Structure 1
């Protein structure tokens, strides 16, 4: 049996800038010092219950759409909720939001669903607010590294 841990990144990236955020999360998660973690990204419309059931931790990424999460991430939650409800309690997760405004409604919506799933936040959500900044890329890379390194060290 493999000792490798699985980090699943389910992130909606409808634009070049949000694509850069996903790439940054993956770059951080695949840092050379992280030895025993396999990290992969799936768009929300492609991820399903089996992907979540095989994960040891998950990073969720979404845009802020009219004060809510992306429809693609909501669709993901709709499809995985009941198949994963009993099996993934305690799953560590992190969230990043690309918010044109403040991200409050998006954060609240995701936290409502993850609370229902009984997933455990590994850190406070990362909210990338306002006009796009290079700091968002750095922050997302650190998020990916933090999650993968924590899995690698057995903290998560």
Structure 2
């Protein structure tokens, strides 16, 4: 069985609601194990044991959250030699336009390396039904793509 990890950071609860929506979407694919975990609780094993990963972050000061950045700092050098090359996607809870957070995560993901398989979902302001649905679809897309060997 393939494993999709959804690694997120949230302080206000907005990004957490996006992560949970993605989790619900991914859980619709029975042949993929889906793990939802806070970035501050995850470690390198979480990523190295996954067949795909979906990161969810709030936009803080125009970039990714400190919690997700901390996750990357703690795992990057540990995993660098493994050349993971697993699929990833990203969702951002943005107070502004979210592009700074996207740029930062994409740059770091290239170094692992991870394969970007979907355009980032950026939800501006408080998550509404449309934003939650977009994240649910992102989670489902990741899980189905993994199940069918598309990525």
Fold shared per TM-score above 0.5: yes
CA distance in 2, matches of 1:22, 1:6: 16
CA distance in 1, matches of 2:21, 2:117: 18
User: Where does the alignment leave 5 or more consecutive residues of structure 2 unmatched?
Assistant: none
Corresponding residue for 1:84? Answer: 79
Distance change in 2, residues 1:136/1:65 (3 Å): same
SS in 1 for 2:62: coil
Matched, 1:113 2:108: yes
Q: Which runs of 4+ in 1 moved over 6 A?
A: none
Aligned residues: 151
Matched, 1:74 2:69: yes
User: Where does the alignment leave 5 or more consecutive residues of structure 1 unmatched?
Assistant: none
SS in 2 for 1:50: helix
Decide which of 6, 9, 13 is 1:16's aligned counterpart.
13
Q: How far 1:88 sits from its partner (Å)?
A: 3.9
RMSD (CA atoms): 1.2
SS in 1 for 2:74: helix
Corresponding residue for 2:88? Answer: 93
CA distance in 1, matches of 2:23, 2:5: 10
Matched, 1:142 2:137: yes
Bigger proportion of residues as strand? 2
SS in 1 for 2:104: helix
CA distance in 2, matches of 1:97, 1:126: 6
Q: Does structure 2 conserve the Cα–Cα contact (< 8 Å) formed by 1:27 and 1:144?
A: yes
Corresponding residue for 2:3? Answer: 6
SS in 2 for 1:64: strand
- TM-score between both structures, scaled by the size of structure 2: 0.95
